Every structure is written in C-alpha cells, then in structure tokens.
Amino acid sequence: MQTTSPIPPLRPNYTAADFRSGQSVLLRSDGRMGVPLFMSGERASVVKSTPRRLRVRVTDASGAARELSVTPNQIALILAE
C-alpha cells in the first residue's frame, strides 16, 4: 500500500529545560501562533526561557530586531550557546 502523505522529517524533541539565554536557534513554523511562516528557518537568539515558552530575538538584514514568544516545538535546531 502506497501513501501520498509526506513523512515528517526527524527533528529533536526539545523541552524548555534545553534552552538558556544567549543560545542561537533555528525557528520552525508549525502553523500555530508564534513563528510566522515566512520566518521559518530564520536564525534567532534566546532572550528568556520559561517552563512553557521562550522569548527569542530575530534580527533581519536591515538590523531591525523582533522578539517572538515561541514554544520549544517551534525550534528546529539549537545551533550554539
């Protein structure tokens, strides 16, 4: 039996305890509030970590900073501390 639905990519299962201020992360849009679709794949830095949400700062090419409130599920990858 062949299926037409794509297989979701493997990714880490992060929890809020995995994050600390100053880490660089890649954002992932999951269709919920937090990360807009056009920002999926953008690099951001963690500003603050709470038990359920993270505050991240994204800086665009013009130098303007934007802070987002995201869940650990909306982080594709932790890049560095």
What tens digit of pLDDT does each residue of 14-35 get? Answer: 888 899 999 999 999 888 788 8
CATH number of domain containing 70: 2.30.30.70
Residue 66 lies in a domain: yes
- From first to last of its 81 residues, the chain has per-residue pLDDT tens of 555 666 555 666 788 889 999 999 999 988 878 888 888 889 999 999 988 899 999 988 788 899 999 999 899 999 876
Cα–Cα distance list, 37 to 1, 2, 22, 42, 74 (Å):
33, 29, 24, 10, 11
E strands, 1-81, where?
Answer: 24-27, 43-49, 54-59, 65-70, 75-80
pLDDT of residue 11: 63
Residue 71 lies in a domain: yes
CA torsion sign for 27, 31, 32, 37 is positive
Q: Which two tokens stand for residue 4?
A: 């037409």
Residue 9 lies in a domain: no
pLDDT of residue 3: 57
Residue 10 lies in a domain: no
pLDDT of residue 63: 82
Residue 71 is part of which domain span? 16-80
Q: Which of 59, 31, 62 is nearest to 70 (CA)?
A: 31
Counting the structural domains of the chain, the total is 1
Residue 62 lies in a domain: yes
pLDDT of residue 38: 86
Residue 27 lies in a domain: yes
